[in-house]
Amino acid sequence: MIRCQQIRISFGGLQVLKGVDLSVQEGEVLGLMGPNGAGKSTLFNVLTGVHSPDSGTIFLKDQVVRLRNPATAAALGIARTFQTPRPLLGLSVFENVAVATADHDLAIRCLQKVGLQNQRDRDSGALNLMDRKRLEVARALALRPKALLLDEAMAGLTAVEMEEATSLICSLKESGVAVVWVEHVMGPLFRTCDRIAVLDQGRIICDGTPDVVSKNPEVLRVYLGEEF
Amino acid sequence: MGFSLLNGLVLGSIYAVSAMGLSLIAGLMRLVQFSHGEFFVLASYCFAFLLRSGIGLIPSLLLSLLVSFIAGVLTERLLLSRAESDHNRSMMMTFILSIVLSNAFLIFFGPYPVQSEARIDGSIEIFPGISMGSQRMVSGAIAMISFLMFYLWVRFTRMGRAIRAVAQDPEVALSFGINPVRTRTLAFGISTALAGLAGVVLSPIFPVVPDSGAQVTLTAISVMVIGGMGSIRGAAVAGLLLGLAESLGSHYLSTRYAPAFGFLFLILTLLFRPRGLYGNRV
Amino acid sequence: METVFNPYILHVGIIGLYYAILASSWNVVAGMTGFATYSHAAFASLGAYVSALITLYFGLPILISLPLAFFCGALFGGLLGKLSLRLNGTYLALVTLAFSELFRLFLTNEDQWTRGALGLKVPLLWSDSENGVVAQKIAALMIFGVVLVSLMIFIRRVRRSRTGLHLRAILSDELAAASLGVQTEKLRVWVFSASSAVASLAGALYGHYLGLISPEMGSLSQMFLILAMTILGGMGTWLGPVIGALGLEILSEGLRDFGQHHVFLYALVVLLVFRWRPQGLLGGRR
């Protein structure tokens, strides 16, 4: 569904991504992990149109796409959530979703999918963290995305909330969206993802099923000391 | 040509001095202090007034700077400290303040320009065939010395380092025992005092009227942005560049468009390299 | 009956409406979309001079020069918007400020055409003085009134539309809005263009009403007035700028008795309100 090939980008002389290849199919959840500074956020930004890569290609449904800016990416069907949720303050919950789509019924369905339909008229600024994250997903879904990129969905959540969030992500598989999930918290990642890619210093060092990744010596080396 | 160059240097160093206080505050509080020029004007009038009352050159100078300093501290405490994080709002506040102050000056000091008695007459011949008014030379020299002293002060004294620390990271500064709130207030007072210094130094050369504040502010802003917000070194380089450009431009092109140089460079900087010469990446 | 229709009161009313148009149109780009520009007054002067020069030197009727002034405002406003796409907050304020001061310098210096600071005499809306001053002023009041009302209706319509929702989204968080598919760049340029066009039209009308224009029309002091009126009325609200403009204009006239002090007092009031009630009269809690 969404694929990138040999993505290279550098900032101020520092090569952050050194030729990254990645692909995700419809209905697949790809986990993306890596130590701090590996380039996860940068890759995320490249895939969502925030930065243009110096070289490399991005494919959406096997068509080459140029993501000039985030709006272009959204128009093409690439949706994203933010690590720290960014609700559109001053707009209600419903209005937040309505920004992404003119279809009233679709907006309601997206809110229902994440469980926010009863709060639709509330000011989005009044939501707690978990609900804000739900809103992020609802908004993204309203774009009818082909690919959904989640930025550290687990950040700041309690164990119970993490369970809820994880099952929500699982349910996304059914809709046929390709999901890329960048994450630090590994438990949910390993339990949910069909495949995991590990990024280290701008390169993918391992790409396979959670089982394969958990046994990969280089991955273990990079995460020395971490327990799964 | 030679005169233009020399004049440009003098002008440039005065521009640099008038911008360095502004740059300091921009780096520290991320604020473009729109009423900067008003403190310039305030000190000019005070200086002239105090001189006429006969208390002597140095005391007049020091008192004028003190007046600017206190006015700055009051401004920061009363008007700015609450809106600190909202930069747009703070800039608007200083914009409104500049209108209040320039009209206050009009009422208080009347519409007449500053009558400075510290004028030094005569001229000095620097190079064969190139002479310049002594007042201009002295003003330029004072400006350059002040600039150097300020640069050293920011670099090496405890207070200077405290300001830079708070500018970089207020929380870390706090953990070192530096009080960010008090530092900001003090720094603001210093920046307005510096504006005052520029006013005292410049008023014998150019006529200063109650309205002059806006023009001074705009020039200082241009210098600051071109040099890079928060960079004292940048203020120096940009000030000199601008002074030279204006001086040479007036000589070869047209005097009426002299102020256009500042605006033009400002626009070019903002469009192509917003961080300026020495500023941090925007 | 006579007191209402006295020329002085009508004149104050017209000026109030002029500023209401300027404040409302600035409010759209600054208060409703979040881009605080400092070039709005300059566009008013652009419109005034374009219309003046077209009628004076090309002999075209005002009915033609007005739309041309509007179009010029739209064109240059859009250009400015496009140029400043990557700039925000302070940098945007500064670049728009620099352009407007540059323009004012240009107007002052090119005095063989513009008569510089001396001011340019402009053809009046009605040349025949047979109609009487009062009738002329009433007509001018109605024209400004129609422009203002049309503007307000248009703004209200836009606010309620999908575009209005997108503008509110941009105001809240430009990046988040973009990632939701809002065409932030295109909208930004459109809003700049539209608001500048209205300012230019208002400026042109004002010029033909007063009969005399000067570069002062686009000065920082004028920009201050627009800013102050919008803030005091309530930045981002629909009716706020209009109330602010009319209110401040009445205040200004009321303070005229204080002579020299009146601008100072006026500015001081604005400062105090901005300090202690920055959301203005009609603005809600942020």
Tens-place pLDDT, residues B186-214:
999 999 999 999 888 888 877 888 988 99
pLDDT value of position B279:
82
pLDDT value of position A225:
55
Cβ distance B96 to C274 less than 8 Å, yes or no, reads yes
| Cross-strand pairs, A150 | A181
Instruction: Say how many CA atoms lie within 13 Å of A146 toward its Cβ.
Output: 19
Domain spans of chain C, in order of start: 7-219
pLDDT band at C162 (very low <50, low <70, confident <90, very high): very high
List per-residue pLDDT tens for chain A, 228 residues long.
Answer: 788 888 888 887 888 888 889 889 888 899 998 888 788 888 989 999 998 888 888 998 888 888 989 999 999 999 999 989 999 998 999 999 999 999 999 999 999 989 898 998 999 999 999 999 999 999 999 999 999 999 988 888 888 888 888 888 888 888 888 999 998 888 888 888 889 999 888 888 888 888 888 888 888 887 765 554
Superfamily of domain A1-77+146-228: P-loop containing nucleotide triphosphate hydrolases (3.40.50.300)
Distances from the Cα of B209 to the Cα of B113, B116, B212, B247, B278, angstroms:
4, 12, 5, 22, 33
pLDDT value of position A104:
92
Give dist(CA B36, CA B38) in Å, integer. Answer: 5
String of DSSP letters for C105-163: HHHHH-HHHH-GGG-EE---S---GGG-HHHHHHHHHHHHHHHHHHHHHHHHHHHHSHH
Q: Which has more confidence, A214 or B219? A: B219
Mutation choice for B interface testing from C86, C88, C102 by most B CBs within 10 A: C102
pLDDT value of position B125:
65
pLDDT value of position B53:
84
Mutation choice for C interface testing from A99, A146, A148 by most C CBs within 10 A: A99
Q: What domains, with CATH codes, occur in chain B?
A: 2-109+131-272 (1.10.3470)
* pLDDT > 70? residue B129: no
Span of B32-36, B77-81, B237-241, C282-286 with lowest mean pLDDT: C282-286
Domain spans of chain A, in order of start: 1-77+146-228, 82-144
pLDDT value of position B51:
84
Name C241's Cβ contacts closer than 8 Å, sequence gap at least 6: C20, C23, C24, C26, C27, C31, C229, C230, C233, C234, C235
pLDDT digits (tens, 9 = 90+) for C214-259: 999 999 989 999 999 998 899 899 999 999 999 999 888 888 877 7
Beta strands in C21-131 (DSSP E): 120-121
* pLDDT > 60? residue B138: yes
Name A228's Cβ contacts closer than 8 Å, sequence gap at least 6: A186, A187, A190, A214
Give dist(CA B225, CA C94) in Å, integer. Answer: 9
The answer to whether A93 and A107 have CB atoms below 8 angstroms apart is no
Mean pLDDT of C171-186: 94
Looking at the complex, report in whole angstroms how far the Cα of residue B140 sits from the nearest Cα belonging to chain C: 27
Distances from the Cα of B163 to the Cα of B79, B90, B171, B193, angstroms:
20, 19, 13, 16
Q: Which residues of B touch C93 (CB under 8 A)?
A: 32, 88, 91
Cβ distance C227 to B259 less than 8 Å, yes or no, reads no
Looking at the complex, report in whole angstroms how far the Cα of residue C184 sits from the nearest Cα belonging to chain A: 7
pLDDT value of position B83:
64
String of DSSP letters for A49-74: TSS--SEEEEEETTEEE---SHHHHH
Sign of CA dihedral C91, C106, C245, B99: positive
Alpha helices for chain A (secondary structure H) = 40-47, 70-76, 93-98, 104-114, 129-141, 159-172, 186-192, 210-215, 217-222
pLDDT value of position C29:
96
pLDDT value of position A227:
52
pLDDT value of position A217:
82
Q: Which has more confidence, B171 or A80? A: A80
Q: Which residues of A touch C166 (CB under 8 A)?
A: 99
Residue A179 is inside which H or E element, if any? Answer: strand A178-182
- Percentage of chain B beyond pLDDT 70 is 92
Q: Which span out of B167-176, C253-262, C264-273 was modeled with the highest average pLDDT?
A: C264-273
pLDDT digits (tens, 9 = 90+) for C211-222: 889 999 999 989
pLDDT value of position C165:
95
